[in-house]
Every structure is written in structure tokens, then in C-alpha cells.
Amino acid sequence: MSMLFKPGKIGTLELPNRLVRSATAERMADADGRPLPKLKALYQELARGGVGLIISGHMYVHPSGKCHPEMMGIYSDELIPGLAELAEAVHGAGGRIAVQINHGGMQCSPETVKETIAPSAIDADFLKHPPREMPPAEIELLIDAFAQAARRVKEAGFDGVQIHGAHGYLISQFLSPFVNKRSDKWGRGLVGRMRFLRAVCRAVRAEVGPDYPMLIKLGVKDAVDGGMTLEEGMGVMTALESMRLDAVEISAGIGGGRSSSIRKGIRSAADEAYFRPWAQKARKRTRLPIILVGGFRSQRVMEDVLSYGDADFISLCRPLICEPDLPNRMRTGLQERSSCISANLCWAEQEGEGIACKCPLEKLDR
């Protein structure tokens, strides 16, 4: 009996199966962050392909948090009508869609922001330019920016909101002792470093109301020396229920960019589900539904993770760039394994290109 195609629930949101499209920056937006028509077509294709829940590419909640060119924005009410069209398109194709909201902090590109900001003015090799430390008033402003963005998500008709708390972006920066060196209430120890996330969740919940699905993608461990340890990450995990979240998707934090969260070369079952040990630990710390991402390629491994109870939902990014209809192909027995070879060639390298599978065709077993 397939666990993968059993219905599931995230808060009040009922889903037809356990497959989630993990947030994927599509790079299909104009200079103001408005989605282009090709994004609507992509979401419809994903919905028709049978995935239970689509999570949009990250959208910036404030202009100071635009991570890269062609990122979608959700920083103004003027953007609501264009976003509503996306939600409607997905619903029309029989799908469900949540929006991932984000602020890039120190990880924003020099192409999209004049200066970057962070909890503290740190420097590190992987930063394109060192950030400016945020004063308390700016912290409060951005908490509200997250809340207003979440209100827009709901007003546009989406099925839920996901707060991006992973991959070294602003929330991840607050959680991390590598970046957050503050001595005021927004820093010092895990409770202080968690305060920004807690305040964002409180403000979002106040805007969207008690029943609206509110998810988080959480980086539970940094990939830099002096960063957040797994034990601290599990401390954050334990606190999520009190932040009134409805589900947690597990990933990595600072330094958790392409090399650690988006691993290359997944060839065998042993390479798959690379964050599974973290999910197993998380299970003991929270009663929230767990969404696990990272390297899933075969139905066998997905079913195994679900049947052991290590996660409740399986989240896929690159396999759905490669084959948006993979869920239906698995459900009908046409295909057991994604054709994705995890070469990480799917990024858009030039403006106007958008994400696309660019791996050699002969490798794709279709």
C-alpha cells in the first residue's frame, strides 16, 4: 500500500497526497517582482502533474531583501492582483499552492540592493559585500514587512504561507551565532537569537488569523564553523509549536547554499534523503507535521521515510524541474525513479532564461 499517495493534512489544509514541490526560485518575474506569464504556465503544469502542494519560489517581503534579479516580490498591495492570477491558475488546474516569503539580509546580490543588512556587521569569505548592522527600528519594520506579505498571500487566494527560515537568509542569520553577535534582546543566547523568528510568526499569525496554514522551512544546522549547532537547531524545533506554526520543512542554515542543501551527484538510494537523520531527531522534538527535503529521487526511499514515520511529507525541487509530472508517473506505476541526475545545471544563468533542466538529454530516461 503506497503511503505517498495517501491524503494528508497541514493545519486546515487538506492535501491529496504526500508530495510537496519545495520552494524553487524560478526567476520568472519582471524588474518589480511581478510574475511573468510563463510562471503561470509552469505552475499549471506542476498542478496537473499531480504534486499535492506547490510551494512558490521565495518572494521578497521588502525591497531591501531582494536576493537576486527576477525574484518575485510581495512587498506591496499593488502586487496582489498579479499574484491572485497565479493562485487562480493553480486552483483551476486542480492544485494547491503556498507562498514562500523571504528577506535575503546579507545574502542579497549587489545587483538588486545598494547595501545589505544583517543582525551584525560581520564579514565572511562567501559574502559579496559586508552587511550593515540593523538598528532595532529596522528590525521592527521588517517584522511588519513579513506580516504584511503574509496578509497579501492570503488576500491573493493562496492556500498557505511558508516563512523562509533556512539557507542563510535573514531569519537564518538571526538564529545563527556566526552572524548574530548582538548584545541587545535580538541576540545573546538561543532565546534572544530566536526572538526575531518568534516575532515574525506572531505578527504573521495576527494578520492571517488562527486557521490559515503557516509553515516554515527551517535550517536546523549551519554549515560554517561557529554557526548554529544541530542541538541548538533542535531547540528551535522544540519552540515551533509555541510559535503556532502548522508544519516544518527541514533543511540547512548559514552556508547551507548549493553545496550543503542542494547536493550534487545523487546516484544511489544511500545518497538520497540526506537530511533524514535530522528529521528523525526532529520527530522527538515536535508534534508538527514534518516535510523532508533534500535528494529524494526514488519512490522506494520516499515510501521508506514515510513508513518509518521519519516525515509526513516528501518535498522535491530538482526532480520537478526535470519532470513536473513525476508524481502522476509514480502514482500510475510508469516511473519509480526521477530522471534527475543532480548536476545542478537547472539554475538560470542569464536574465530571461528561467529555471530549466539542462542536463544532457540522453541521461533522461524518458
Ligand X SMILES: Cc1cc2nc3c(=O)[nH]c(=O)nc-3n(C[C@H](O)[C@H](O)[C@H](O)COP(=O)(O)O)c2cc1C
Q: Which residues bind ligand X (CB under 6 A)?
A: 22-25, 57-58, 100, 164, 166-167, 217, 251, 261-262, 293-296, 316-319, 346-347, 355
Nearest to 164 by CA among 154, 156, 172: 172
| Nearest distance from C-beta of residue 217 to ligand X, angstroms | 5
Distance CA 197, CA 103 (A): 12
Mark 15-34 as b/e (b = at least 16 C-beta within 10 Å).
Answer: bbbbbbbbbbbbbbbeeebe
Q: Which is nearer to ligand X, 100 or 116 (CB)?
A: 100
**Annotated catalytic residue 169:** yes
| Nearest distance from C-beta of residue 324 to ligand X, angstroms | 13
| Nearest distance from C-beta of residue 181 to ligand X, angstroms | 25
| Nearest distance from C-beta of residue 341 to ligand X, angstroms | 11
Give the active site residue among 43, 75, 169, 212: 169
| Nearest distance from C-beta of residue 121 to ligand X, angstroms | 25
Distance CA 362, CA 366 (A): 9
Q: Which is nearer to ligand X, 187 or 213 (CB)?
A: 213
Q: Which is nearer to ligand X, 187 or 253 (CB)?
A: 253
Could you tell me the CA-to-CA distances from 110 to 65, 104, 115, 158, 194 in Å, in that order? Answer: 11, 12, 7, 31, 28
Distance CA 167, CA 275 (A): 14
Q: Which is nearer to ligand X, 103 or 164 (CB)?
A: 164
Q: How many CB atoms lie within 10 A of CB 199?
A: 20
Nearest to 217 by CA among 168, 178, 155: 168
Q: Specify whether the backbone of 279 is left (phi greater than 0), alpha (psi in -120 to 50) or beta.
A: alpha
State whether residue 329 is helix, strand or coil: helix
Q: Which is nearer to ligand X, 62 or 164 (CB)?
A: 164
Q: Which is nearer to ligand X, 100 or 148 (CB)?
A: 100
State whether residue 261 is helix, strand or coil: helix
State whether residue 206 is helix, strand or coil: helix
Strand partners, 96: none
The answer to whether the CB of 252 falls within 8 A of the CB of 279 is no
| Nearest distance from C-beta of residue 220 to ligand X, angstroms | 13
Q: Which residues are catalytic?
A: 169
